[in-house]
Amino acid sequence: MARPEKASKTELGERIREIRKRMGDPDRNEFAQQLGVTLSSVARYERGEMEPSCQVLSAYSEKLGVNLRWLLTGKGKMLIGEDQSIGDVSIADIRKLNYNIASAAAEKLSRRIDPDEFAEQFIEAFDYLLSERQLDKSSSENVVGFASQRLKRASSQDGK
């Protein structure tokens, strides 16, 4: 039987714990692996005993879509694009879905590419498209072309 989790000593720790709850409350070990940190680090972040490095904060943003302004200050929305929607679906939900699709697709690629790296590149392309003021077919084609060239270069460098 798992021990009950201790309350956080800091507001940052509380927000970090809130993120894991929002992501479906996976166990800490699974969550730590997704972020690329240790189980004990996630526990210490959530308890407010340690503050995450810039690299870890970046992982929260890039891999989970967490709004760093919210994470650090508590101001704004928790997730990037949460306040924007297409119909009844938030951009944050679409972003998360895209990440999951890209991650699953990368696992099935015959080339040797890290699924997380592929998913991150996929999401970077998605974020780029969201940042464009006018979305049209050519802007989508440009970002997809750029991303595919990056993937080709990365996979050819891995084969050297």
Same domain assignment for residues 94 and 152: yes
Instruction: Please tell me the predicted confidence (pLDDT) of residue 139.
Output: 57
Same domain assignment for residues 36 and 92: no
The phi and psi torsions of 85 (rounded to 5 degrees) equal -145, 160
**Residues 6 or more apart whose Cβ sits within 8 Å of residue 24:** none
Instruction: Please tell me the predicted confidence (pLDDT) of residue 67.
Output: 92
15 closest CA partner among 72, 81, 58: 72
Instruction: Please tell me the predicted confidence (pLDDT) of residue 109.
Output: 64
Rounded to two decimals, the pTM is 0.58
Per the model's pLDDT, the better-predicted residue between 107 and 88 turns out to be 88
129 closest CA partner among 160, 103, 98: 98
Helix (H, G, I), strand (E, B) or coil at 81: coil
- Rounded mean pLDDT of 9-20? 95
pLDDT tens, 38-74? Answer: 999 999 999 999 999 999 999 999 888 899 999 999 9
pLDDT tens, 98-111? Answer: 776 666 666 666 56
Domain harbouring 45, CATH code: 1.10.260.40
For 57, the domain range is: 11-73
Same domain assignment for residues 20 and 42: yes
Same domain assignment for residues 99 and 150: yes
**Residues 6 or more apart whose Cβ sits within 8 Å of residue 117:** 106, 154
Chain mean pLDDT for the chain: 78
Of 10-14, 31-35, 115-119, 149-153, give the lowest mean pLDDT range: 149-153
Domain count, the chain: 2
Banded model confidence at residue 24, pLDDT cuts 50, 70, 90: confident
Q: Which of 42, 73, 104 is the last residue of a domain?
A: 73
Same domain assignment for residues 114 and 61: no
- Rounded mean pLDDT of 71-95? 81
In a domain, 119, yes or no: yes
pLDDT tens, 135-156? Answer: 555 555 565 565 566 556 655 6
List the structure tokens of 81.
């694009």
Same domain assignment for residues 106 and 54: no
42 closest CA partner among 6, 13, 71, 79: 13
In a domain, 120, yes or no: yes
